[in-house]
Structure 1
Amino acid sequence: MYDYDLLVVGSANADLVIDVERRPAAGETVLGGDLAVHPGGKGANQAVAAARLDARTALLARVGDDGHGRLLLDSLGAAGVDTAGVLVGGAPTGVALITVDPLGDNSIVVSPGANSRLSPEDVRAAAGLFRATRVVSAQLEIPLETVVEVVRNLVPGGRFVLNPSPPRELPAEVLAACDPLIVNEHEARVILGDACVGGEPADWARLLLAGGPRSVVVTLGAEGALVCAGADVTRVPSVRVDAVDTTGAGDAFTAALAWRLGAGAALAEAAAYAARVGAAAVTRRGAQESYPTAEEVEALCGAVPGDARTAGRAADGAPVAGERGGSR
């Protein structure tokens, strides 16, 4: 029996958000709305999203001894995240500069701050957290050598979920542990490079799987997601909602999927639930503030269908190959 449903190892940032009529091109200045400061960071986001769904969640991260760090600790605590693994001091809290356009799409620049100090030694010192959970989720807003150490500290039979954001080349040891590797369209293109030219998302999923992960999920924004494990690619549809702000929606998806896997769900079933959580999240502004409870997900999106089809066909019966989705 494990004490936690999910351990998240990753970043914690303050999100500095400005609404803009359109995102600036290179060398261009645009006027925006008032600055809003929200708790964020892919690691903290995932921990809060899972806890809001009633998952027993712990976070291993670093924040600064400053106002942004206190904002993050307050948000994590309010959501019910165990913050015993959140280390304080040594560098300023990480900051993300985010612009959001009228369609809810965003552009993000991250200053890592304390996140860059989360070390392999910190992972080894948190051995008790790793022994207390079977599912561990990570991202790449922390040093890659720290992610490698996370893989080495998984409990026997443990499951590792990775969103390689921002994308970079991954060592074989990390790829082999991913179950699943979760990427959006942009991340898939960066990782695959020329191999994805002319292909469709279903082809990308198969190519990514051939690179070493145990399973792959490609998120397609409003078009749902593709799940690839073995020869089959399963299309998981999303739920149509009026998007207000997509900031942190991918983190909500990853958190929900990781939690459902830990609860024993099959990958396609977990992804179907995660797509609903992500859809609910984009109907509100901010990242952590937007994350729904399980009751809110069901009220907005309905129950999760239990008959997602495989064998290269979409859940609604349409072929997977040839379908394209927007990137979120």
Structure 2
Amino acid sequence: MTARSRVVLAGNVIADLVIEVPALPERGGDVIGTRTELYAGGGFNTLTAARRLGAEAVYAGLHGSGPYGDLVRSSLAAEDIGTVLRARTDGDTGFCVALVDGGGERTFVTSFGVDARMTPEEARTIAGSVRGGDLLQVSGYGLVMEVNGPLLAEVVTDLAEDVRVCFDPAPLVADIPAAVLDPVLARTDWLSCNAREAELMTSQADPRAAAEVLRGRLRAGAGVLVRA
């Protein structure tokens, strides 16, 4: 990245409620958590990593008015991460409940807030905030939303050639409509996913085989990282 390059997240920073449990309960059952934490999550982790590596980072996503929105904004400010959009006043930011079992595997339940209700004007503001040389981070969590997905796909496909796109398909990638997903993949410079997500997109259980298939769906010279 050049000195003027930034990491811009056109995704979601939400509140993460993380509960450690010995094991997931059976359907209709219950289990006692051993530790609980509430903090900003989602794309916040990407932005924080970029800042701590010395890059400028910008959050170009939605955030609401309420305790979760306040948590998101205070967490971004603490890491010196700027925002593009004003806080929405018609609801709060969404949240995710993450259950971490004794083996370290994470299971999620996500409840979106105003972050699922992007307007065309907000999409235009996001597009206008991206500068040449930036790296734009896009998540499948944004593309899977009925309202946000088509708007974000249009933002990505209309980007200047000198903007690099990094796409994280996320666990719900199988639910993203092809009309939204395929144009984003065709504009992606780096795709980063886990083996499960890669298999959902390619029907290939082997991570190396899945990566090769995915490379064929991206723009020329793009890279793929499949985490096993």
Shared fold (TM-score, shorter chain, > 0.5):
yes
The answer as to whether partners of 1:201 and 1:218 remain within 8 angstroms in 2 is no
CA RMSD of aligned residues (A): 2.2
State the Cα distance separating 1:186 from its structure 2 match: 1.2
CA–CA distance in structure 2, aligned partners of residues 189 and 177 of structure 1: 20
The answer as to whether partners of 2:63 and 2:88 remain within 8 angstroms in 1 is yes
2:209 matched residue in structure 1: 203
Q: Mind listing any 5+ residue stretches in structure 1 that lack a counterpart?
A: 221-324
Structure 1 residues 1-328: aligned runs within 5 Å: 3-41=4-42, 43-85=43-85, 87-131=87-131, 133-142=133-142, 143-165=148-170, 166-167=172-173, 168-171=176-179, 172-192=182-202, 195-196=203-204, 199-214=205-220, 215-220=222-227, 325=228
Report the residue type matching 1:14 in the other structure: A
State the Cα distance separating 1:85 from its structure 2 match: 3.2
Report the residue type matching 2:155 in the other structure: V
The answer as to whether partners of 2:60 and 2:85 remain within 8 angstroms in 1 is yes
State the Cα distance separating 1:81 from its structure 2 match: 0.7
CA–CA distance in structure 2, aligned partners of residues 16 and 63 of structure 1: 17
The answer as to whether partners of 2:18 and 2:38 remain within 8 angstroms in 1 is yes
**TM-score normalised by length of structure 2:** 0.84
CA–CA distance in structure 2, aligned partners of residues 118 and 135 of structure 1: 21
Deviations 1:95-147 (A, max 9, x none): 10111123332111111112101344312123442136522111022221132
**TM-score normalised by length of structure 1:** 0.60
Q: Mind listing any 5+ residue stretches in structure 2 that lack a counterpart?
A: 143-147
1:256 matched residue in structure 2: none
Secondary structure at the aligned position of 1:62 is classed as: coil
State the Cα distance separating 1:216 from its structure 2 match: 4.1
Report the residue type matching 2:200 in the other structure: V
Report the residue type matching 2:77 in the other structure: G
Structure holding more strand per residue: 2
Q: Which moved more, 1:6-15 or 1:98-107?
A: 98-107
CA–CA distance in structure 1, aligned partners of residues 4 and 90 of structure 2: 29
The answer as to whether partners of 1:176 and 1:213 remain within 8 angstroms in 2 is yes
The answer as to whether partners of 1:63 and 1:89 remain within 8 angstroms in 2 is no
State the Cα distance separating 1:209 from its structure 2 match: 1.8
Distance 1:122 1:191, change over 3 A: same
Report the residue type matching 2:69 in the other structure: G
Distance 1:92 1:120, change over 3 A: same
State the Cα distance separating 1:212 from its structure 2 match: 3.8
Matched positions, count: 216
Deviations 1:169-204 (A, max 9, x none): 443321110111222111112112xx32xx521111
Secondary structure at the aligned position of 1:99 is classed as: strand
CA–CA distance in structure 2, aligned partners of residues 132 and 218 of structure 1: 24
State the Cα distance separating 1:53 from its structure 2 match: 1.6
Give the ranges of 4+ consecutive aligned residues of structure 1 lying more than 4 Å apart after TM superposition: 1-4
